[in-house]
Amino acid sequence: MTNDESLVRSIEERQRPAPVRRISEAARTQEASDQRGSYQSLKRLFPYLSKCRGALALGLLAMATVAILTISFGQVIKWVIDNIPKDAAEALRFSNYVAAITLAVIVIYFLSTFARMYCMRLVAIKVTEELRKDVFKNVIAMGASYIDRHSSGSIQTRIIADTSSLGEFLAKQIPVFVKSSMMLTAALIACFFVNVELATVVLIGVPLTVLPFILASRPLRKLASVWQATIADAGRSAGEIFRRIKAVHVFDQHTNESRRFSGKVGLVAQCDRRVNRLMLFLNALAESLSLACITVLFWFAFRDVFAGRMTLGELISFGFYVQAILIASRNLVDIGSSFHVAAGVASRVVDYLDAKSSVRLDTVPATATRIDLSGSIEFRDVHFAYASRPDTPVLKGVNLTVPPGGKIALVGISGSGKSTLLELLMRIYEPDKGSIVVGGADVRNIPVSELCAAIGYVPQEDFLLSGSVIENIRYGNPEASLDDAVYAARRAHAHGFIEQLPNGYQTDLGEVGSRLSGGQRRRISLARAMLRKPRILLLDEATTALDQESEREVRAALDQVSANATTVIKITHSIRDAMTSDTIAVMDEGRIVAQGTHAGLLASSPVYRRLAAEEEETSRPKAAAVVA
């Protein structure tokens, strides 16, 4: 067994519910239930077709026209062959008449075919557009906790690739199913009108040509599922590599990453080969059975022609109908195969469409209350663990009160839960237990838009977005004027370096963002926070990892924005920075272990004394260097 085959089998094993040798009745029942669920998911998407009723109706009408013309052509062939005049002059006039009619029919056929394809393409584009918008709108409104439980690559695949394939299926395969069903039914009826005996043979023989596909539908569905899983795994791996490309370069892992990705791509190719082998075998078998069926039919047909029970026109038209039946049957089988795949894709997309979360950024609670900006902020017995690590609590009963207009600093070692506390206040996440109260109202009863409008947030890691400088500054307040944005940039001490960028405020940060210093990126983030004119200011290590000049600029900007905010909560590792606040709260292992002034905490808190001693020890060599 090759390595690729071993990998394929390992994936198949992981997808099985249990390593059993024989499928139990319960397992069969569960599989049938899962299939019904997938089909219900596909049915759940049908209403999207109603968003383009006009194009869909015109496309179906054009499709019906094409089907009628195609079936009618068999009768035309029969009539022409059986009614050719024996007189040469009459035959010439007859042929001109038939040619004129045929040309008109061809023109109608062309127009109908073009209208069908054009309308179905419009439907596919519209369905895909609406699906993408709805999936994105629902997922982005779920909040960070939901997105944390799913890989970003998986969500991107659902929004782009899966919605595209579903749009194509809903807009193309279903109409083709309707057309093929119409042609199959009409052609079978026409065969009975031509010759009942031969039509009976067709009725028995044609199912044999599609039997291999029916028997192989289950293994084919499993193979397709494994194939899709390997593609998703390869895409996820490539995304991770590109996101950490700097680390790949620094640690010289180009060769190893290429080898690892090659293995995943090889697995995709192995699955692709297995699917193709099965499909090619089935196609070859079906075509062979079709030839056998046609051979038997023509043996019966020629016998009837020579016996005078069938005309030559009837023979040719019957052959035409048989060909139409075989094509329609093959189309239906192909649609059946794609139907299984589409049903599986639909179930994943519907999961995102119907996902529910306790935090909905696009809804207003029934008990919505206007936030009292002059009120206090209280954390009451707050417990929290991230969904990705549910057994590792980050906060363990935090109790903290920030009085109206208070300025408090949170200090503690990394991982003690400081940043998580701010994220819960902003409702990026929801507490597992306990509550957060602002101005006497639980934040869960405050509209998220109103809560966030009152908050200015400067994160430790600056999240600059693709787009211009001015778009980044106005991201939290898109309606702000250019003058207001420039004023905010001046107050954030960012105007000077922005003016020196290639295109000033219109410079695309997607191109130059990586060339900005940490202090410059931080000041753009500060300008963004200032533009919101926040009453509550949250600062997460706003001066960390900056050189002295940048830190001085950022501190000056922070002093301005802090002076205008009602309440300030800042996270800092600097004891000197914490001393500028009214109160210092010490966090350790997910709890508030001490709270007070600098002098009081030095006297009463061992954790705080240790933090102060570590900072003094760290700063001592710098001071010595300055003296030297």
CATH number for the domain spanning 403: value is: 3.40.50.300
- Please report the pLDDT score of residue 399 as a whole number: 92
Same domain? For 204 and 294 the reply is: yes
3-state secondary structure 5-55: HHHHHHHHHHHCCCCCCCCCHHHHHHHHHHHHHHHHHHHHCHHHHHHHHHH
The residue type found at 331 is N
**What would the pLDDT profile of 457-498 be if each residue is shown by its tens digit?**
888 777 777 788 888 888 878 888 888 888 888 888 888 888
Residues 6 or more apart whose CB falls under 8 angstroms from that of 288 comprise none
Instruction: Please check whether residue 330 lies inside any domain of the structure.
Output: no
Same domain? For 241 and 259 the reply is: yes
**What would the pLDDT profile of 409-423 be if each residue is shown by its tens digit?**
999 888 888 889 998
Same domain? For 72 and 207 the reply is: no
Provide the CATH number for the domain around residue 148. 1.20.1560.10
Task: Provide the number of structural domains found in the chain.
Answer: 3
The highest-confidence range among 21-25, 72-76, 309-313, 604-608, by mean pLDDT, is 604-608
Backbone angles phi, psi at 480, to 5 degrees: -65, 145
Instruction: Please check whether residue 541 lies inside any domain of the structure.
Output: yes
- Please report the pLDDT score of residue 433 as a whole number: 92
Question: 86: which 2 tokens?
Answer: 């024996």
Same domain? For 163 and 213 the reply is: no
Same domain? For 397 and 298 the reply is: no
Instruction: Please check whether residue 318 lies inside any domain of the structure.
Output: no
CB atoms within 10 A of CB 571: 24
Mean pLDDT, residues 104-119 taken together: 88
* CB burial readout 151-187, b (16+ within 10 A) else e: eebebebbbeebbbbbbbbbbbbbbbbebbebbbebb
CA–CA dist 202, 93 (Å, integer): 37
- Please report the pLDDT score of residue 364 as a whole number: 52
Instruction: Please check whether residue 23 lies inside any domain of the structure.
Output: no
Same domain? For 212 and 225 the reply is: yes
Mean residue pLDDT across the chain: 77
The domain containing residue 412 runs over which residues? 377-598
Q: What percent of the chain has pLDDT over 70?
A: 80
Q: What percent of the chain has pLDDT over 90?
A: 6
Same domain? For 142 and 240 the reply is: no
Mean pLDDT, residues 433-448 taken together: 86
Instruction: Please check whether residue 122 lies inside any domain of the structure.
Output: yes
- Please report the pLDDT score of residue 116 as a whole number: 85
Contact 537, 565 (CB under 8 A): yes
Question: Is 539 a residue whose pLDDT tops 60?
Answer: yes
Mean pLDDT, residues 425-437 taken together: 88
**What would the pLDDT profile of 215-249 be if each residue is shown by its tens digit?**
776 777 677 767 767 877 777 777 777 767 767 77
Same domain? For 487 and 508 the reply is: yes
Same domain? For 171 and 213 the reply is: no
Sign of the alpha-carbon torsion through 423, 428, 434, 435: positive
The residue type found at 27 is A
